[in-house]
Structure 1
Amino acid sequence: MARPKLPISATILVKNAQDTLQECLDSLQEFDEIILLDNGSSDDTLTIAREFNAIYGNLVIHTSEFIGFGALKNLAVSYARNDWILSIDSDEVLESTTLVRLKELFGTLDSKDLDSKTSESSALDSKNPKTPQTPTPPPNTLYALPRKNLYNGEWIKACGWYPDFVTRVFHKDYTRFNDNIVHESIMLPKDARLVRLDSGLKHYAYDNITHLLQKLQTYSSLWAEQNTHKSASPLKAIVRGGWSFVRNYFFKKGFLYGYKGFVISVCNALGVFFKYMKLYEATLPKKPRSCSLIITTYNQKERLALVLDSVRELAVLPTEVLIADDGSTEDTKALVESYARDFPCKLGHIWHEDRGFRLSAIRNAAIREAKGEYIIIIDGDMILHPFFVADHLAFATPKVFLQGSRVIVDSHTSESMLQARSEENAYKRVFTLGGLKARRCKILSHLVYATSRVDSKFFAQKDFIKGIRGCNMSFFKADCEAINGFNESFIGWGREDSEFVARFLFNGGALRRLKFAGIAYHIYHPENTRDMLESNHQIYLETIHTKAKFCRYGLKDL
């Protein structure tokens, strides 16, 4: 006569578990149902499962891509036909005394079980009341099983590995696993009755140090992905990792297990260190992998030549340099072509017909052509410090408009430099000018950046942000595209940069200042005519009034 099956569905997640799955399944022979959810095994895992089912007929195989351990375990439970669930991992084995105890709790104990049952197997943890001998425990009862964690075959009772109670038996209509990607657990409602059994699972935790390090890397990466809402820093990683070693090796007696205790304590500490460092790196602002330097110009080939000379000597070159030409004559094109022959990076020339001052339009044309993730825009009369691009990229942050500053070169120095432009390194004459403002200082530049944030709330008190200049600015191309670029409604000089920044802020961005870094030297020239300033200012005020995020005429006509 067949022995009664335990009315519990055992659920198992598997991926390449051929080394431990057979013993795990053998311990579950007397369960009414086994749900095996495969996550893309490429070894003999599924062969073992099918052969087991051919003998015992109680195993059902399902498949799923990885969606997080919590979600996968809930998915496996959803396939179960029984109300009661045992969740077990493929590297765990249900001990025979635990099987007898579960059969006793669920009313399927028979004479053979009674013969093998020991007094120890029916004893509960002394801190918990005895579980009533009823065929169907109340749904709010959950059972926690102690795990015997093995390292290279040895049961380790130190390093926080024992007692290691895991809640694994529960009623599927009463509770479920949380949705954690890793370190998932069964949720405990307020009226839950948690019973700790005195026998549980044998767990083949780690075969050797290689196995331990592999799992350490996997789980620390998943933990960092899951906990992006938490704060992390290198200091926190070092302190918490160091304390983990001290706690596990000394206070939790890892030293009693020789080299194994030392290896486990070190790896536990590394796991803590790596998960916080991975979280720290994951929460750092995205840095661009490519950069386009756009240089605007109009019939200033002598100044442009000096600027290109300074670009040649940059410590960090942009991916490409694009000359945004607002209608210059052929001599500017010839100059660009001559430089392009041996320029250290790609040098392109974007030109449109001269129909007056159309700076926004030529900037948009260059941005459309740009291949870089990050855009730096300067005027064609700005000589660049060797670390100009490096500094912009160091502070580059998504949703941040970076406003650089300039060092004004006096008219005398500008004129003498232009006259000597054919001399090698003539542009370097400006590097001795500017005083403190022209000195790179990492501490001061970070201080200015951290304290200069401006967002759209600014416009609740004032309608104009001072110091917005297109001669030295940068942003992610995607953020520019999100607001449709520069507003081509502007004709003539004035306010096109301020209006761009306003829409940038209304779209959820922020303005930050770049000083004592990203230094550029402005070659002197007479100021542009301001004939159109008043009408341009009205366009700007309309953007402020409507809190516009887009412009009608920009990168794309809306």
Structure 2
Amino acid sequence: MKLSTKISVCILVKNAQNTIKECLESLKSFDEIILLDNQSSDDTLKIANEFKAKFNNLKIYSSEFIGFGPLKNLAINYANNDWIFSIDSDEVLEYQALDEIANLDLNPQNIYALPRKNLYKGEWIKACGWYPDFVLRLFNKTQTKFNSNFVHESLEAKNLNIIKLKNGLRHYAYDDISTLIEKMQKYSTLYAIQNRAKNSTISKAVLHSVWKFIRDYAFKKGFLYGYKGFVISLCNALGAFFKYAKLYELNHQMPSVSLIITTYNSEKYLEQVLKSILNLDYLPNEVLVADDGSGVATKNLIEKFRAIFPCELKHIWQEDKGFRAGQIRNKAINIATSEYIIIIDGDMVLDRNFILDHLKFAKQKQLLQGSRVVLDKSQTDLLINGGGYVSEFKTLKSKRNSILSKLIYKSSGIEASFFKKRDFIKGIRSCNMSFYKIDCDEIGGFNENFIGWGREDSEFVARFLFSGGELRRLKFFGIAYHLYHAENSRKMLESNHQIYLNTIKEKRVKWR
């Protein structure tokens, strides 16, 4: 049968050797068949090329997996005709449906839905939520396309009419329990990735799965199909459980973290910092010492600790040309291999919960300012001389408090709109700061035009906010103890402050 209207068929395939031949045979009457292969490793392409040798309407393309919605839109882009018939590689267009399509007076304002017969081990299952099953498959690409969903993609049908046909597709859904479980695992994983911005709980996963089984087995009459109905209903329920459970797990998965320590000729302080890292309850993936030109004593100290360190310890050094904290931090950030960056100074001794506290509140487009507990000279001397521990220096600021920390975190958000009324955010200190590396890369890192102490951290935060990010504070969490020392020279503060003000005035995102 030859169709009067030119229609392009679009098929995605991956390892479909058992069904692709019958699928293609049912499509011979169409003007064009676009087959987009997603890295098949079986005989799918061999079978497709054998079909192509007999029928020149088949065109074969390939792509890596970019999500089902984007893949289907890519296949549509390869099509020469405006009318598109979308079919899966495990589906067969029934002859009666082909005859019905041939007699349609196609209207671009319509999307045509076909009924689908879902088969399990060759039996058409009219239960378990598998029936009735209408799928949108015939449409005009000038009027609509697929959404960008990774999984459960669908046509954008707004302002278009949906016309249901009487005849449709035979769908070889599952051959056995193994394929049911395999697809359930695949689709639940893709669901979690696609919906990562949504919240989920284990109780939600349990409730959804229990209801899904009751609905499909009892209300949707799965019990009428014996063990097949039970297996399908159970796997449907497990799919519901795993997609919400995987989403929960994905949202609570800790990112990899690089801890960067800025130092300059302060071996006795750096030693205390490195010792505190050895006592952390949750270790970073790597520690990078960002060295702004220290001598050999610092190098030797790092080598000494590298032999006993529980994670990778890297020494990033630059020549001593004055205070260039921004430049050495950028070098360390560029070398860092983790998703999340925590920056401290080489005089900040860490509470044992320090890393985990930062990670618990970590979010993209968010910069965290951690807590700093300032030690006096006597406390610092006691610590350096081995006569005390930071846990002994009890103050209100050093006490971890989950409730207060969450309250302050939620109420402390600052965005770029802050600069409409004021030009300076108090309490910004890069000696205890964290953010996602991708967000830092977006603004070009720290401003290397700053020479000497002052405002390089505030300017970094300002550009972070102008990029669409926000600042939030950790109090009573993310605690680090600042060792006493003489203050840095402030002779460059005035000129540095002017650089900062220019960034505010021009609302800069990148410093160069």
Alignment TM class, shorter chain as reference = 0.7 to 0.9
For 1:372 and 1:538, locate their aligned partners in 2 and report how far apart those are by CA, in whole Å: 33
For 1:348 and 1:404, locate their aligned partners in 2 and report how far apart those are by CA, in whole Å: 24
For 1:43 and 1:241, locate their aligned partners in 2 and report how far apart those are by CA, in whole Å: 34
Partner SS for 2:481: strand
Give 2:224's aligned residue.
Answer: 256
Q: Does residue 11 in structure 1 map to residue 15 in structure 2?
A: no
Is the CA contact 2:343–2:434 (under 8 Å) kept in the aligned structure 1? yes
Cα 1:212–1:500, aligned 2, differ >3 Å: closer, same or farther?
A: same
Give 1:116's aligned residue.
Answer: none
For 1:37 and 1:304, locate their aligned partners in 2 and report how far apart those are by CA, in whole Å: 61
For 2:336 and 2:70, locate their aligned partners in 1 and report how far apart those are by CA, in whole Å: 42
Q: Does residue 494 in structure 1 map to residue 461 in structure 2?
A: no
Deviations 1:266-287 (A, max 9, x none): 22223333344455566x4995
Which residue of 133, 136, 156 maps to 2:125?
Answer: 156
1:340 Cα deviation after fit: 4.5
Is the CA contact 2:36–2:60 (under 8 Å) kept in the aligned structure 1? yes
Give 2:58's aligned residue.
Answer: 60
Deviations 1:342-379 (A, max 9, x none): 44442526354375x55445545555665555443333
Partner SS for 1:247: helix
- Structure whose alpha-carbon radius of gyration is higher: 1
Q: Which runs of 5 or more structure 2 residues have no equivalent in the other structure?
A: none
Code of the residue aligned with 1:397 in structure 2: it is K
Code of the residue aligned with 1:525 in structure 2: it is H
Q: Does residue 464 in structure 1 map to residue 410 in structure 2?
A: no
**1:522-533 aligned within 5 A:** 522-528=482-488, 530-533=490-493
Is the CA contact 2:108–2:143 (under 8 Å) kept in the aligned structure 1? no
Q: Does residue 314 in structure 1 map to residue 313 in structure 2?
A: no
Which residue of 273, 284, 287 maps to 2:241?
Answer: 273
Q: Does residue 146 in structure 1 map to residue 115 in structure 2?
A: yes
1:474 Cα deviation after fit: 2.7
Is the CA contact 1:495–1:536 (under 8 Å) kept in the aligned structure 2? yes
Is the CA contact 1:11–1:76 (under 8 Å) kept in the aligned structure 2? no
Give 1:131's aligned residue.
Answer: none
Code of the residue aligned with 1:541 in structure 2: it is L
Code of the residue aligned with 2:16 in structure 1: it is A
Partner SS for 2:117: strand
Partner SS for 2:163: strand
Q: What is the TM-score with the length of structure 1 in the denominator?
A: 0.75
Count of residues paired in the alignment: 506
Code of the residue aligned with 1:348 in structure 2: it is H
Give 1:208's aligned residue.
Answer: 176
Cα 1:210–1:302, aligned 2, differ >3 Å: closer, same or farther?
A: same
1:431 Cα deviation after fit: 0.8
For 2:82 and 2:335, locate their aligned partners in 1 and report how far apart those are by CA, in whole Å: 61
Deviations 1:171-214 (A, max 9, x none): x47855534554445555757372441x4333222111111122
Give the CA RMSD over aligned residues.
3.9
Code of the residue aligned with 1:449 in structure 2: it is Y
Cα 1:533–1:41, aligned 2, differ >3 Å: closer, same or farther?
A: closer
Q: In percent, how many aligned pairs have the same letter?
A: 54
**1:365-384 aligned within 5 A:** 366-367=332-333, 370=336, 373-384=339-350
Code of the residue aligned with 2:261 in structure 1: it is I
Deviations 1:522-555 (A, max 9, x none): 233344454554444344333322323344xxxx
Q: What is the TM-score with the length of structure 2 in the denominator?
A: 0.81
Q: Does residue 510 in structure 1 map to residue 479 in structure 2?
A: no
Give 1:395's aligned residue.
Answer: 361
Which residue of 366, 370, 382 maps to 1:404?
Answer: 370
Give 1:303's aligned residue.
Answer: 269
Give 1:35's aligned residue.
Answer: 33
Q: Which runs of 5 or more structure 1 residues have no equivalent in the other structure?
A: 107-135, 552-557
Q: Does residue 292 in structure 1 map to residue 288 in structure 2?
A: no
Is the CA contact 1:33–1:58 (under 8 Å) kept in the aligned structure 2? no
For 2:221 and 2:367, locate their aligned partners in 1 and report how far apart those are by CA, in whole Å: 54
For 1:481 and 1:155, locate their aligned partners in 2 and report how far apart those are by CA, in whole Å: 54
For 2:489 and 2:510, locate their aligned partners in 1 and report how far apart those are by CA, in whole Å: 27
Which residue of 143, 146, 157 maps to 1:178?
Answer: 146
Partner SS for 1:508: coil
Cα 1:11–1:291, aligned 2, differ >3 Å: closer, same or farther?
A: same
Partner SS for 2:260: strand
1:454 Cα deviation after fit: 1.4
Give 1:114's aligned residue.
Answer: none
For 1:80 and 1:377, locate their aligned partners in 2 and report how far apart those are by CA, in whole Å: 51
